[in-house]
């Protein structure tokens, strides 16, 4: 059970209601993450705004989801791993081998995506103090300086939702149950 209120449209603060209404119209349900973020209208607005901005980066959907699932698994956010797994399958039509490797934190079948996942882990682990060798390795994998900063953007987005879910203990929506994930013990 969530430690923070999971709002519906009716119970949410007035400033959060339009965001919940848009989420319901878009996906047919309100993800509990958004119900939690609705406690603070600026938090839900930030999450949805940064999500939209993140969708416009130079990364493909597979690359964006590599950053999101890598961050979520490293942060231990079961809700976000499930949610992004659903995106991988429903929107991205991504291969199960890739998605499972992301969820299990094992080497990815695609070398360039593996370089992206590793760079994302380094950004998180070093809190941005990425050693020159790791930066050079990422760039040598075919990425550019633009993507260095887009990884930071993706990690920032993930941190907002991962940490919010962890604090709240957000329950998984039934719509995401098929994508359930648990951190390794």
- pLDDT by residue (tens digit) across 89-147? 999 899 999 999 999 999 999 999 999 999 999 999 999 999 999 999 999 999 999 99
User: Does the pTM exceed 0.85?
Assistant: yes
pLDDT at 184 over 90: no
Q: Rounded to whole angstroms, how far apart are CA atoms 7 and 138?
A: 41
End-to-end CA distance of the chain: give it in Å, rounded.
Answer: 21
Of 84, 83, 102, 76, give the one whose Cα is nearest residue 166. 76
Q: Rounded to whole angstroms, how far apart are CA atoms 77 and 36?
A: 14
SS3 35: helix
The residue assigned the tokens 């603060």 is 13
Say if residues 3 and 169 touch (Cβ distance below 8 Å).
yes
User: pLDDT at position 25, please?
Assistant: 95
Which architecture characterizes domain 17-179 according to CATH?
Up-down Bundle (1.20)
Q: Rounded to whole angstroms, how far apart are CA atoms 160 and 185?
A: 23
Q: What is the CA radius of gyration of the chain?
A: 16
């Amino acid at each position: 059970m969530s430690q923070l209120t999971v709002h519906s449209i009716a119970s949410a603060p007035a400033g959060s209601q339009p965001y919940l209404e848009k989420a319901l119209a878009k996906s047919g349900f309100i993800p509990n993450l958004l119900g939690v973020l609705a406690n603070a209208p600026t938090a839900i607005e930030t999450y949805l705004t940064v999500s939209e901005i993140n969708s416009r980066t130079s990364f493909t959907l597979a690359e964006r989801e590599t950053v999101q699932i890598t961050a979520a698994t490293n942060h231990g956010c079961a809700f976000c791993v499930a949610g992004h797994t659903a995106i991988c399958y429903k929107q991205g039509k991504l291969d199960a081998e890739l998605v499972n490797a992301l969820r299990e934190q094992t080497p990815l079948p695609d070398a360039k995506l593996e370089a992206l996942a590793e760079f994302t882990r380094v950004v998180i682990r070093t809190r941005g103090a990425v050693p020159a060798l790791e930066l050079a390795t990422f760039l040598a994998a075919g990425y550019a300086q633009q993507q260095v900063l887009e990884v930071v953007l993706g990690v920032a987005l993930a941190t907002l939702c991962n940490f919010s879910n962890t604090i709240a203990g957000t329950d998984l929506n039934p719509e995401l149950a098929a994508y359930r994930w648990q951190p390794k013990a």
